[in-house]
């Protein structure tokens, strides 16, 4: 059974790009419609009854939170937010929020979101029940609180300073006085200790698995039991990096 998707963005080219990216998942996801405003989105949800909305956060007529308040509990699909602004990076605080994507959407990051959606879509009917004490105003407050966490990392290279978005980071590896920052395409050396980085990063986004390893939760593909009953995690990078979980962090990893 295909998942029915609605693509919502006030920028026509952004809608075209999202639909193009979703073609790779055509056997699982059917794009049944699109909307260019909040009002259109509300109408399309009532008309088409989608399972998931790829929803732009900022639109001229109303923001995503106003849209969702107007959809109502009974018609609420799953949500994958899209945004062009780094400070809008948010985690899934509410049952109907699957993930968020920064624009322009990266195909590999979309794959992570689709994998989350696969785990949720068999239970759409159950997931559509909103918590009794939930309000979109509370959600907005929690969403805005994410700005307190580190959003980008400064990497000094000679006379230049590169800015690496935290959402691009797969893992951090500490060696002596330095920390290596790994993304899907590059790696960088910084002099910030891992213990300090951990305090600055969103705990819903990164997990400590070893005194030398801090890993992005979204990029963990598998948790395996290795030799001597030790746990290890396999990452979603091209090398399928496998890292051993220290005994001190096993409980935290098992709870993911």
Question: Is it the case that residue 73 has pLDDT exceeding 50?
Answer: yes
- E-strand stretches of 111-212: 152-157, 160-165, 169-175, 178-183, 187-190, 206-210
How confident is the model at residue 85, as a pLDDT?
64
Residues with Cβ < 8 Å from 122, sequence gap 6 or more? Answer: none
- pLDDT tens across 185-223, in order? 899 999 999 989 998 898 888 999 999 999 999 899 999
Q: Greatest CA separation found in the chain?
A: 59
* Mean pLDDT confidence for 226-243: 86
Last-in-domain residue among 114, 147, 180:
147
Read off the pTM. 0.51
Percentage of the chain surpassing pLDDT 70? 84
d(CA 130, CA 78) in angstroms, rounded, equals 11
- pLDDT tens across 100-156, in order? 787 888 888 898 888 888 877 754 434 444 455 555 565 556 555 555 788 889 999
- pLDDT tens across 10-40, in order? 999 999 999 999 999 998 999 999 999 999 9
Residues 41 and 73 in one domain: yes
d(CA 110, CA 115) in angstroms, rounded, equals 9
Residues 189 and 65 in one domain: no
Last-in-domain residue among 96, 124, 147:
147
- What is residue 42's three-state secondary structure? helix
- What is residue 14's three-state secondary structure? helix
Question: Is it the case that residue 49 has pLDDT exceeding 50?
Answer: yes
Annotate 91-130 with DSSP letters as a single string.
---STTEEEEEESSPPHHHHHHHHHHHHHHGGGHHHHTPP
Residues 116 and 57 in one domain: yes
């Amino acid at each position: 059974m295909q998942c029915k998707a609605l693509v919502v963005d006030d920028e026509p080219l952004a809608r075209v790009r999202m639909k193009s990216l979703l073609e790779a998942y055509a056997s699982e996801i059917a794009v049944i419609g699109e909307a260019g405003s909040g009002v259109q989105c509300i109408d399309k949800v009532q008309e088409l009854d989608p399972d998931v909305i790829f929803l732009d956060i900022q639109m001229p007529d109303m923001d995503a939170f106003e849209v969702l308040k107007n959809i109502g509990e009974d018609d609420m699909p799953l949500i994958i937010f899209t945004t062009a602004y780094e400070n809008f990076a948010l985690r899934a605080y509410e049952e109907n929020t699957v993930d968020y994507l920064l624009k322009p959407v990266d195909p590999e990051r979309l794959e992570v979101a689709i994998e989350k959606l696969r785990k949720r879509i068999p239970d759409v009917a159950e997931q559509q029940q909103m918590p009794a004490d939930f309000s979109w105003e509370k959600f907005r407050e929690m969403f805005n609180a994410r700005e307190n966490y580190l959003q980008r990392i400064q990497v000094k290279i000679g006379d230049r300073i590169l800015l690496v978005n935290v959402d691009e980071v797969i893992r951090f590896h500490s060696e002596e006085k330095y920390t290596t920052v790994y993304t899907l395409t590059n790696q960088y050396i910084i002099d910030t200790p891992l213990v300090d980085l951990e305090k600055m990063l969103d705990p819903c986004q990164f997990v400590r698995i070893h005194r030398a390893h801090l890993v992005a939760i979204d990029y963990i593909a598998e948790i395996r039991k290795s030799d001597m009953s030790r746990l290890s995690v396999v990452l979603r990078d091209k090398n399928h990096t496998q890292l051993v979980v220290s005994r001190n962090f096993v409980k935290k990893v098992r709870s993911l």
